[in-house]
Amino acid sequence: MQWIKFTYNGDIPNYIDNSRMLIIARKTVNITVPNECHSFYLLGKLTRDPKIYSYVEVLTLNEDLVKDPELVLANLQEFHDNKLITGNQDLIKPQELIIDCGATHHNSLKCFTSFSKTPEISVSTGDLASTLLSAGIGTIVILCINQSLSLKNSLFVPRPNCNLVSLLAPSQKKVVIHREDDHFTRKTNNFGMIKGKITNNLMRVEYSISENHLTATASNPWHGRLGHPGNQVIRMMGLPVINSAYSTCD
């Protein structure tokens, strides 16, 4: 009967508490339900909430995570604690970049000045519950501090939580980051200067998008940076191997 009455009303903390009570009740009465089924049951009730749909979808696709419903709830709790779904005005704005330590850039399609579609690519972020799914690659030109910055080999993520730009990838040699209170300045020998604000230990950069129009191409260029399969994997998938100047993950 508890399973039938169990609902989600938009209150994440309350839903997590009730879910944990349901797990305890299941163990107490020795109900035999596979952990994966319990995880999908808990996640399924969240899919109608547009504020968290993308995040729930990522959790659902994580095979390791859904093996343990308690781990699913722990990730939901962390997601809520990080204010990603609270409606707080401190949320990441659409016209912000988050400076990241990854090897690639992950951005929404509206940022691109040139773009080529690729088969869906799963990109690890270091957090099992935060896998990004990329559907293409291209170039982004942004305007920051009266200068034009070109970000090549950027990945398109259809449903990103935010736009990310690598901390080190745009530079070739020297990077200097200076922090003063809640502001920072990032300088490189070949990429100019970026300024921004630090909130919740994230380096945020406000920017504007170049006025160039997006031009899609029919080609499917692959490269071997973080999150992209190497030539051996591409062959196993039955996809054509395209030669490029990038080193692969083989």
Quote the pLDDT of residue 126: 47
- Residue 140: CB atoms within 10 A of its CB come to 27
Q: Is the pLDDT of residue 243 over 60?
A: no
Q: Per mean pLDDT, which range of 49-58, 159-168, 184-193 is the poorest? A: 159-168
Cα separation of 79 and 90, whole Å? 14
Measured between alpha carbons, how far is residue 190 from residues 111, 163, 172, 176 in Å? 22, 22, 7, 12
Mean pLDDT over residues 35-60, rounded?
82
Predicted local confidence at residue 236, as pLDDT? 63
Q: State the pLDDT at residue 196.
A: 81
Higher pLDDT, 183 or 110: 183
Over residues 115-154, the pLDDT tens digits come to 787 776 666 554 445 566 777 788 877 666 666 667 777 7
Is the per-residue pLDDT at 17 higher than 80?
yes
**Cα–Cα distance between 148 and 151 in angstroms, integer?**
10
- In angstroms, the CA 52 to CA 41 distance is 16
The pTM assigned to this predicted structure is 0.35
Q: What is the pLDDT of residues 63-80, one digit of tens each?
A: 777 888 888 888 888 777
What is the model's pLDDT at position 97? 60
- Per residue in 189-227, pLDDT (tens digit) is 655 677 888 776 667 777 665 544 444 433 344 443 445
